[in-house]
Chains A and B, each alone.
Chain A
Amino acid sequence: DQQVKQNSPSLSVQEGRISILNCDYTNSMFDYFLWYKKYPAEGPTFLISISSIKDKNEDGRFTVFLNKSAKHLSLHIVPSQPGDSAVYFCAAFRGTGRRALTFGSGTRLQVQP
Chain B
Amino acid sequence: KAGVTQTPRYLIKTRGQQVTLSCSPISGHRSVSWYQQTPGQGLQFLFEYFSETQRNKGNFPGRFSGRQFSNSRSEMNVSTLELGDSALYLCASSLSESSWGEQYFGPGTRLTVT
Contact = CB atoms under 8 A, between A and B. Distances in A.
Contact of A99 (B4, B98, B102): B98
Nearest to A92: B100
B43 interface: yes
A98 B41 CA distance: 21
A49 B58 CA distance: 21
A34 B101 contact: yes
Interface string A31-67: 0101000000111111001000000000000000000
A95 to B, nearest CB: 9
Contacts of A93: 98, 100
B92 A100 contact: no
A98 B107 CA distance: 26
B43 A44 contact: yes
Interface residues of A, number: 21
Contact of B42 (A99, A101, A105): A105
Contacts of A101: 33, 45, 100
B105 interface: yes
Interface in B40-80: 41-45, 55-59
Contacts of A91: 43, 100
Interface string B17-48: 00000000000000001000000011111000
B56 A98 contact: yes
Query: Which A-B residue pairs are the 8 nearest by beta carbons?
Result: A43-B105, A105-B42, A103-B43, A101-B45, A99-B98, A49-B101, A100-B58, A100-B56
7 contacts: A42-B105, A44-B43, A44-B105, A46-B102, A99-B56, A100-B56, A101-B33
